[in-house]
Chains A and B, each alone.
Chain A
Amino acid sequence: GESVGLHLPTLSVQEGDNSIINCAYSNSASDYFIWYKQESGKGPQFIIDIRSNMDKRQGQRVTVLLNKTVKHLSLQIAATQPGDSAVYFCAEINDYKLSFGAGTTVTVRA
């Protein structure tokens, strides 16, 4: 079936470096994608979203890139900080419901 998934389950990054988290999706009809961050013991929190008519969207220290040709989504975090350690999920909207990928656990090394 069609689903949203992430390329790697874990990512270790040095503090101050940039992080790139990848996600592949298979539902070509999806037109809205979201990145969520989940810290240990908490619920997911919205980071940034992007619609299919865009290739790139920037927020505060984060950038989301969408490549519809290869159905790939990425989240870039600039100057990664210890507080960025969390699980990151990509999700797609389909009929007002979100479908989540399995998540990438990001660990920031001091």
Chain B
Amino acid sequence: NAGVTQTPKFQVLKTGQSMTLQCAQDMNHNSMYWYRQDPGMGLRLIYYSASEGTTDKGEVPNGYNVSRLNKREFSLRLESAAPSQTSVYFCASNEGETGELFFGEGSRLTVL
């Protein structure tokens, strides 16, 4: 079991460029999440998907789009990157009924 796998681990973008963060889980979980982590602010929920075919906004969705491609995969897209989106992004998954989220290793994004 690999758990939750995120790619890429590191990325540098210029303002206005677009990119997609990929996430896959092999635990057959129904729910998947994207968080961003900034210094001193903990983790903030960007988008989540309670089940395949559904997505919902979290606390900080502006500037992002998501796709729940199938039960395993949940991608996060930045259409026009801004310096304020410099952060570490974490994908997570769970069954949806318990709080035990399983996290990926994170993707460190820098927007210049």
Contact = CB atoms under 8 A, between A and B. Distances in A.
Interface of A: 9, 32, 34, 41-46, 49, 89, 91, 93, 96-103
Interface size class of B (residues with CB under 8 A): 20 to 34
Nearest to B43: A100
B90 A103 contact: no
Interface stretch (B14-22, B68-76, B97-105): B97-105
Given A43-B90, A89-B43, A100-B42, A49 B103 contact: no
B105 A49 contact: no
B42 A42 contact: no
> For chain A, what secondary structure do more than half of its interface residues adopt (helix, strand, loop), or is it mixed?
strand
Contacts of B41: 102
Given A96-B31, A96-B50, A97-B48, A44 B43 contact: yes
Given A43-B105, A91-B99, A98-B43, 11 more contacts: A41-B106, A43-B4, A44-B103, A46-B101, A46-B102, A89-B43, A98-B99, A98-B101, A100-B44, A101-B42, A103-B42
